[in-house]
Chains A and B, each alone.
Chain A
Amino acid sequence: EIVLTQSPDFQSVTPKEKVTITCRASQSIGSSLHWYQQKPDQSPKLLIKYASQSFSGVPSRFSGSGSGTDFTLTINSLEAEDAATYYCHQSSTLPWTFGQGTKVEIK
């Protein structure tokens, strides 16, 4: 199966700061990489589909980039409501797999 490795595992950030989370795939997955946000005691929510396409209703400060094996989720000008764990997910090859998650804390 395709292994997704996110870095960092944890990030503590001040409001308005820029956040960058990376996701590396164990083999090339083209652009079949999606990003989700999960707040405590909530289900995940789709942020970015196919590496760089924003999902409907997602604030413009969230953006994604990358292809092949290396992908990035960027949060420009972090807001307090962005405190959450972020997961990447690949849909290139079954079984679908997720990264281990990156927890973003607000300082």
Chain B
Amino acid sequence: QVQLQESGPGLVKPSETLSLTCTVSGGSVRSGSYDWSWIRQPPGKGLEWIGNIYYSGSPKYNPSLKSRVTISLDTSKNQLSLKLSSVTAADTAVYYCARAGSSSFYFDSWGQGTLLTVSS
């Protein structure tokens, strides 16, 4: 059974770039059957899809964040990563990585999430 585990710094200063990693176990990010997303949830609020990546394709991003987001895969470590530049307090959220079928598009596996706080 696939497991996803997010990791990150916990605290980032305004205007800096946040970097998060999601380590996948029990499955491979090189699998052509799945794509891998980042989703975030501000405290007490709903879910926002940030973007996704498929092993043999280009990443896709939410237009609301596209100018600041980079999602990539590290196949040697079986990880996906998220970089979000020029962060503000509005980027404070729990960040989840999640797996979806490459042709089915629902999120069948989620990490436990990592809280990222933007504060000076």
Q: Which residue numbers of A lie inside 8 Å of B, CB to CB?
A: 1, 32, 34, 36, 42-46, 49-50, 55, 87, 89, 91, 94-101
Contacts and interface: CB of A to CB of B under 8 A. Distances in A.
Interface residues of B, number: 21
A40 B37 CA distance: 22
Given A95-B63, A99-B46, A101-B46, A43 B106 contact: no
Interface of B: 37, 46-49, 60-64, 96, 100, 104-108, 110-113
A43 B46 contact: no
A95 B49 contact: yes
A100 B46 contact: yes
Q: Which of A45, A46, A89, A96 has the most B CB atoms < 10 Å from its CB?
A: A96
Contacts of B112: 42-43
Contacts of B100: 91
